[in-house]
């Protein structure tokens, strides 16, 4: 088989679901087939795919490109990675800003009385009290 194809996921069904196998064409919403063996379910899925595409064209509905769900998932994963990297940059920038403010406060304390400020962990109650309103 050559050229683009619609990916199919074959799943074994439990006894409570009637047994056998289900094949889902993941790019084509609702396109699925069943069989007693994985090969039979896959063969039925090929027929269901042809019928699904034929009916979509007859009704004038858009037909997804083969592997479109895989490409969308890849783009979503890439976008999520970009967002995570941006979030990490913001966290590092915030930590640096907190360190600079702490250094400034330490300098003010040294100019006045007492030693440098020390870090004191907040209790859960204190953290809840100082949390910004939603």
pTM for the full predicted model = 0.51
pLDDT at residue number 48: 95
Residue 114 vs residue 64, higher pLDDT: 64
pLDDT at residue number 120: 65
Q: Write out the DSSP string of 70-103.
A: HHHHHHHHHHHHHHHHHHHHHHHHHHHHHHHHHH
Closest to 112 in 3D by CA, of 100, 104, 101, 121:
104
State pLDDT tens for residues 54-110: 999 999 998 888 877 777 777 778 888 888 888 989 888 898 888 888 888 777 666
DSSP three-state, residue 22: strand
State pLDDT tens for residues 6-26: 889 999 999 888 899 999 998
């Amino acid at each position: 088989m050559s050229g683009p194809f619609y990916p199919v996921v074959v799943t074994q069904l439990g006894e409570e679901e009637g047994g056998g196998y289900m094949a889902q064409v993941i790019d084509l919403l609702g396109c699925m087939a069943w069989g007693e063996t994985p090969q039979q379910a896959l063969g039925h899925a090929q027929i269901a795919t042809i019928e699904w595409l034929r009916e979509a064209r007859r009704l004038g509905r858009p037909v997804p490109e083969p592997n479109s769900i895989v490409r969308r998932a890849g783009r979503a994963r890439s976008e999520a990675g970009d967002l995570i990297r941006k979030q990490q940059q913001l966290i590092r920038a915030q930590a640096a800003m907190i360190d600079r403010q702490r250094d400034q406060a330490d300098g003010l304390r040294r100019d006045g009385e007492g030693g440098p400020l020390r870090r004191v962990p907040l209790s859960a109650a204190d953290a809840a009290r100082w949390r910004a309103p939603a």
